[in-house]
């Protein structure tokens, strides 16, 4: 770049002010959280959604409530914002800084989004005034949230909006690190749970929340990952299900329970995956992985290959729930970032004076194989796992690596067939 050329200034991430904060900072806090009502509510919500889509395809026709339709409109508007915010031209294998600008637009519109969806709550009064992030009037419009707090507890609309905004804006990745992972995915589930507790979503919405709303959310996230090359947050690399997501595999395996023709081993058949990906989240995930990763499936996704050896989808689904509890809800590097407030409360009773977390991903693959009770003939379990969860080490996007490989010119190589090894012809 010449000295006369200038580059656009790096956008500054927007900070949302709310009452939410991460409160899990030690193993003792995490253990106490597992005994809390919020943990029980969160896990039960995931399981209830899981049970609601057993044997249900993505193309199944279902009635969409006004609140579900409103959520879809919000997600669609966020997709349009991606189109309006193209990636910056100077790209590396790490995240594109245009994502920061997109996230700023998300934050700027999020209060309006939440006010829009709150209109569908039977618990709000008729007049929902435009909310200011910083409260200026302590006597603002307020309402009672029945069934969440004690009978005499009153909370302001502005506080609820702030908390919903916080969960929602944390659902699409970190604008500072330009990354995304299963912890952000968990915040989207937390956002849906809050709306369920506010009676904006009902139990009758559970099936469309998964096959319509969550599926649309995943579609948006795939778009963000592809356009902005979001880095995987805390990825296990090949020793994980996916660089970014977990719940599409959990709920997706529930969709396939008792399927007559598609079995866990069917993911090895690319024709089956291609034909049925539009109907099943699990297969759509496999299709996306095959699209963005290079090499053989057993090399880049040994964990999924191992799971394909499980007898039936019911066993896979049971294993996924155990794995989610063990590998996400029980991992301090993930849960130390989870946010709590009034809608989803958790305050540890014992405060550690100081705690510096240590990452422990060693034997992760062996541990997960035990969850699914599989052997691993295709992979070498003796290989050591990467020690970092990604909090300190940036992990380039596999999408970026794949695109970079496509754009890399293939060199001419003069060779003697009798002397060359086939590996020397591979273009990295």
pLDDT of residue 402: 54
Report whether 250 contacts 319 (CB < 8 A).
no
Question: Quick check: 137 pLDDT over 50?
Answer: no
pLDDT tens track for 375-389:
544 444 434 433 344
At 122, is the pLDDT very low, low, confident or very high (cuts 50, 70, 90)?
A: confident
Question: DSSP assignment, residue 371?
Answer: H
Sign, CA dihedral 416-420-426-428, equals: negative
As a whole-number percent, the residues of the chain with pLDDT over 70 amount to 68
pLDDT tens track for 178-221:
999 999 999 999 999 999 999 999 999 999 999 999 999 999 99
pLDDT tens track for 47-96:
999 999 999 999 999 999 999 999 999 999 999 999 999 999 866 667 89
* Element at 227 (helix H, strand E): helix 215-228
pLDDT of residue 220: 98
Three-state DSSP at 102 gives helix
Cα gap 118→414, rounded to integer Å: 67
pLDDT of residue 240: 66
pLDDT of residue 316: 97
Question: Quick check: 349 pLDDT over 60?
Answer: yes
pLDDT tens track for 225-253:
999 999 988 755 444 688 889 999 999 99
Beta strands 179-180 and 231-232, pairing class: parallel
Structural tokens at position 112: 């309006």
Least-confidence region, from 56-65, 120-129, 354-363: 354-363
Cα gap 6→28, rounded to integer Å: 50
Q: Name the residue among 192, 193, 199 with its Cα closest to residue 143.
A: 199
pLDDT of residue 374: 60
Cα gap 378→396, rounded to integer Å: 26
pLDDT of residue 338: 96
> What mean pLDDT value characterizes the chain?
79
* Element at 155 (helix H, strand E): strand 155-156
Say which residue, 206 or 134, is predicted with more confidence. 206
Identify the burial level of 233 via C-beta atoms within 10 angstroms of its C-beta, where 0-12 means exposed, 13-18 middle and 19 or more buried. buried
Cα gap 133→123, rounded to integer Å: 21
Report the Cα–Cα distance between both ends of the chain, in Å, rounded.
26
pLDDT of residue 129: 41
Helices 66-83, 215-228: axis angle to 10 degrees equals 10
Kindly give, in sequence order, each residue whose CB lies less than 8 Å from that of residue 275, ignoring residues fewer than 6 positions away. Answer: none
Question: Quick check: 422 pLDDT over 50?
Answer: no
pLDDT of residue 283: 97
Q: Where are the beta strands (DSSP E) in 197-323?
A: 231-232
Question: Quick check: 415 pLDDT over 90?
Answer: no
Other CB atoms within a 10 A radius of the CB of residue 219 amount to: 13
Question: Quick check: 149 pLDDT over 80?
Answer: no
Structural tokens at position 90: 């100077």
pLDDT tens track for 254-280:
999 999 999 999 999 999 999 999 999
Report whether 191 contacts 185 (CB < 8 A).
no
Q: Interior CA angle at 131 toward 117 and 146, to 5°?
A: 55
Query: What pTM was estimated for this model as a whole?
Result: 0.78
Output the CA–CA distances (angstroms, integers) from residue 305 to 165, 239, 369, in the order listed. 38, 11, 11
Least-confidence region, from 9-13, 109-113, 247-251: 9-13
pLDDT tens track for 285-307:
999 999 888 888 888 888 999 99
């Amino acid at each position: 770049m010449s000295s006369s050329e200038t580059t656009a200034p790096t956008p500054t991430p927007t900070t949302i002010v709310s009452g939410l904060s991460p409160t899990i900072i030690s193993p003792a806090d995490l253990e106490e959280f597992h005994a809390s009502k919020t943990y029980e509510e969160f896990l039960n919500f995931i399981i209830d959604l899981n049970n609601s889509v057993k044997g249900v395809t993505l193309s199944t026709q279902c009635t969409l409530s006004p609140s579900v339709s409103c959520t879809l409109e919000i997600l669609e508007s966020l997709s349009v914002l991606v189109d309006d915010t193209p990636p910056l031209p100077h790209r590396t294998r790490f995240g594109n800084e245009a994502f920061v600008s997109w996230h700023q637009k998300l934050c700027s519109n999020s209060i309006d989004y939440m006010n829009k969806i709150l209109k569908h709550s039977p618990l709000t009064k008729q007049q929902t005034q435009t909310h200011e992030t910083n409260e200026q009037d302590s006597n603002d419009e307020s309402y009672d949230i029945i069934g969440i707090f004690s009978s005499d507890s009153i909370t302001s609309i502005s506080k609820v909006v702030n908390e919903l905004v916080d969960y929602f804006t944390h659902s699409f990745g970190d604008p500072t690190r330009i990354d995304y992972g299963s912890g952000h995915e968990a915040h989207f589930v937390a956002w849906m749970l809050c709306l369920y507790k506010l009676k904006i979503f009902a139990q009758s919405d559970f099936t469309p929340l998964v096959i319509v709303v969550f599926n649309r959310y995943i579609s948006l996230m795939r778009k963000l990952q592809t356009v902005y090359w979001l880095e995987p947050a805390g990825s296990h690399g090949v020793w994980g299900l996916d660089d970014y997501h977990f719940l599409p595999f959990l709920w997706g395996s529930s969709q396939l329970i008792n399927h007559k023709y598609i079995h866990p081993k069917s993911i090895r058949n690319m024709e089956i995956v291609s034909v049925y990906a539009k109907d099943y989240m699990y297969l759509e995930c496999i299709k996306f992985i095959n699209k963005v990763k290079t090499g053989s499936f057993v090399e880049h996704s040994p964990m999924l290959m191992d799971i394909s050896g499980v007898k039936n989808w019911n066993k896979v689904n049971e294993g996924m729930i155990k794995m989610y509890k063990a590998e996400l809800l029980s991992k301090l590097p993930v849960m130390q970032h989870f946010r709590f407030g009034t809608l989803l409360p958790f305050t540890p009773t014992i405060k550690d004076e100081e705690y510096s977390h240590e990452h422990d991903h060693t034997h992760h693959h062996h541990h997960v194989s035990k969850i699914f009770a599989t052997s691993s003939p295709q992979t070498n379990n003796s290989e050591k796992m990467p020690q970092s969860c990604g909090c300190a080490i940036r992990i380039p996007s596999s999408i970026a690596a794949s695109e970079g490989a496509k754009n890399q010119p293939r060199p001419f190589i003069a060779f003697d067939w009798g002397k060359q090894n086939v590996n020397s012809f591979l273009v990295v």
